[in-house]
């Protein structure tokens, strides 16, 4: 039986565990100082260990704009209010609910979640004995990007040893495999069309792969029996 292990980095491997947070009753100034002093762009709002919201630089900027004295001089409609209540606490400032992910999720899942929810920051939560989701870390885009900055030689070894040798059971010496700046080029002949399609599909899913240049040919083509099945890891 062939044994294979593709690299699969989890959220817990790259998340930040030293989490800065503020309480729900933290003042505007306290939240601003936390962001400024720590150099982060967002901070979770926590209540009893649970993340209930997040305050970002954008949230603070919107509030600060309300204090611009020039806004009072701008033309207003007759019915417009001349007094604007500025948010004073983290509860009033924060965006809620928090977009969260589990530590056991893959970085690919985290990326998809960020993209679908249009956020650049995720809370990492894990349930305790009472099944209450507790904040155990935070994850930013910069944490995830490091996963994809892989050495080309390391990436080529995974393509050779794992994809071709152990999964496809194809002798890699008969295939030209080159990697440059994360772009994998495949050329040469493999036994079947399904082997060629599966090779490209698998390689494109590897962490660190930017693109796949497909130059594979095959000796015979099977009849189409349905969609291509890709192993799940």
pLDDT tens digits along 189-231: 999 999 999 999 999 989 888 899 999 999 988 765 555 555 5
Strand order in the sheet with 121-127: 100-101, 121-127, 133-140
105: its two tokens:
């999720």
Q: Is 16 strand, coil or helix?
A: strand
The answer to which of 65-79, 97-111, 143-157, 171-185 has the lowest mean pLDDT is: 65-79
Confidence grade of residue 60 (pLDDT, cut at 50, 70, 90): confident
Three-state SS at 39: coil
Q: Which two tokens stand for residue 25?
A: 């009753």
Residues 6+ apart with CB under 8 A from 38: 20
CB atoms within 10 A of CB 186: 21
Per the CB < 8 A criterion, the answer to whether 219 and 196 are in contact is no
pLDDT for res 67: 57
Would you say 56 and 32 are in contact if contact means Cβ atoms under 8 Å apart? Answer: no
DSSP state, 89?
B
Q: CA 193, CA 221: separation in Å to the nearest integer?
A: 5
pLDDT, tens digit (0-9, with 9 covering 90-100), for 124-149: 999 888 888 899 999 988 888 877 78
Domains of the chain and any CATH numbers: 11-147 (3.10.580.10), 152-220 (3.30.300.130)
Q: End-to-end CA distance of the chain, in Å?
A: 16
SS3 content of the chain, % helix, strand, coil (to 5): 35, 25, 35
Q: Which pLDDT band holds residue 73 (cuts at 50, 70, 90)? A: very low
Confidence (pLDDT) at 77: 53
Q: Is this structure's pTM higher than 0.75?
A: no
CA of 53: how far to CAs of 21, 47, 110, in Å? 10, 9, 18
Burial tier of 218 (Cβ tally within 10 Å: 0-12, 13-18, 19+) = middle
Whether residue 74 is predicted with pLDDT greater than 60 in this model: the reply is no
Taking 90 as the threshold, does the pLDDT of residue 170 lie above it? Answer: yes
């Amino acid at each position: 039986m062939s044994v294979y292990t593709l690299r699969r980095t989890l959220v817990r491997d790259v998340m930040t565990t030293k989490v800065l947070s503020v309480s729900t009753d933290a003042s505007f100034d306290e939240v601003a100082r936390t962001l400024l002093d720590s150099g982060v762009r967002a901070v979770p709002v926590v209540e009893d260990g649970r993340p209930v919201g997040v305050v970002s630089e954008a949230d603070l900027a919107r509030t600060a704009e309300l204090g611009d004295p020039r806004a009072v001089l701008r033309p207003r409609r007759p019915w417009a209010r001349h007094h604007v209540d500025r948010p004073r606490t983290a509860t009033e400032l924060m965006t809620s609910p928090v977009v969260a992910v589990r530590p056991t999720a893959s970085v690919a899942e985290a990326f998809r979640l960020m993209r679908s929810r249009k956020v650049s920051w995720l809370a990492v939560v894990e349930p305790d004995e009472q099944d209450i989701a507790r904040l155990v870390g935070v994850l930013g885009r910069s944490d995830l990007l490091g996963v994809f900055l892989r050495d080309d030689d390391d990436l080529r070894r995974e393509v050779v040893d794992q994809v071709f040798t152990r999964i496809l059971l194809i002798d890699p010496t008969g295939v030209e495999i080159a990697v440059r700046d994360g772009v994998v080029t495949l050329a040469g002949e493999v036994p079947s069309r399904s082997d060629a399609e599966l090779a490209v599909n698998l390689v494109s899913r590897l962490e660190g792969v930017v693109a796949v240049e497909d130059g594979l040919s095959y000796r015979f083509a099977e009849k189409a029996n349905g969609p291509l099945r890709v192993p799940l890891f």
